[in-house]
Amino acid sequence: MAGSQVNKQLPKATAKRLPQYYRLFKLLVDEQVTRTNSQLISEKIGVDAATIRRDFSLFGELGRRGYGYETRALRDFFGELLGQDRETHIALVGVGNLGRALINYQFQNRNKMRVTQAYDVPENPLVGTTSATGVPIYDIADFSKHVKNSKIKTAIISVNKENAQEVADILVESGIKGILNFSPLRLHVPDDVVVQSIDLTKELQTLLFFMSHKDIK
């Protein structure tokens, strides 16, 4: 299995490029392109060819010199590596504007991931209802009860920073092992729980900085 071929010392920068590789090979297969090479991949995703070859070398022989890479084989390899060969159910906590957008986002049209449960405080009038996409919205007090009766190990936090750590504690206590955190707060979790944080304000500020300093590469 691809997962068994992951180098324990895989650089984080390489790991962050894996979804790009998977998305590209999936697109190439859909376009009926059967073979490609590092230079063509570089042109498609904006990563230099040497970096691509170095990334791929970390997983063994993914291609052949003078022949290139078989798109279908690499799509399947990176898909398995990223867990796209199995369906992943996700719980979402925080059904505000961002939370509602995430509930309605059609993950499954692109990957085998989908939000199947959502949670908020009982003051939110949406608690006790079902979203337009069929996702039930529960009281956060019932998180453990519902999640423990499911196969959910992944959750999204889209609450304000004042409540983010408290929510994270509830998730951890309920057996969640992966958290996508949209709050600006740095979460404290056990070593066996993985957190990926997305601070939209920081990302926008970074964008504005580079727009004003286009000479910086």
Give the tens place of pLDDT for each residue, 145-202. 999 888 899 999 999 999 999 999 999 999 999 999 999 899 999 999 999 999 888 8
Q: How far apart are CA 32 and CA 183, in angstroms?
A: 40
Q: Is 96 annotated as a binding residue?
A: yes
Q: Is 178 annotated as a binding residue?
A: no
Nearest CA among 94, 92, 74 for reference residue 84: 74
Asked whether residue 53 falls in the same domain as residue 110, the answer is no
Mean pLDDT of the chain: 88
How many domains would you assign to the chain? 2
Asked whether residue 38 falls in the same domain as residue 119, the answer is no
Identify the pLDDT of residue 158.
Answer: 96
Per-residue confidence band for 3, with pLDDT thresholds at 50, 70 and 90: very low
The verdict on residue 35 lying in a domain is yes
Asked whether residue 66 falls in the same domain as residue 102, the answer is no
Q: Is 98 annotated as a binding residue?
A: yes
pLDDT digits (tens, 9 = 90+) for 13-68: 898 899 899 989 999 999 999 999 999 999 999 999 999 999 998 988 787 777 78
Q: Tell which wins on pLDDT, 181 or 213.
A: 181
* Residue 99, SS3 per DSSP: helix
**CA 197 vs CA 16, 33, 159, 178, 210: distances in Å:** 13, 35, 13, 11, 21
Q: Is 95 annotated as a binding residue?
A: yes
* Residue 51, SS3 per DSSP: helix
Asked whether residue 148 falls in the same domain as residue 178, the answer is yes
Asked whether residue 30 falls in the same domain as residue 107, the answer is no
pTM: 0.74
CATH of the domain at 180: 3.40.50.720
Identify the pLDDT of residue 159.
Answer: 95
* Domain end among 61, 81, 101: 81
Asked whether residue 97 falls in the same domain as residue 159, the answer is yes
Q: How far apart are CA 135 and CA 93, in angstroms?
A: 12
The verdict on residue 70 lying in a domain is yes
* Residue 55, SS3 per DSSP: helix
* Domain end among 66, 81, 96: 81
Q: Is 135 annotated as a binding residue?
A: no
Q: Is 97 annotated as a binding residue?
A: yes
Domain that residue 24 falls in? 2-81
Asked whether residue 73 falls in the same domain as residue 128, the answer is no
Nearest CA among 80, 82, 84, 88 for reference residue 151: 88
Asked whether residue 73 falls in the same domain as residue 144, the answer is no
pLDDT digits (tens, 9 = 90+) for 79-101: 888 877 778 899 999 999 999 99
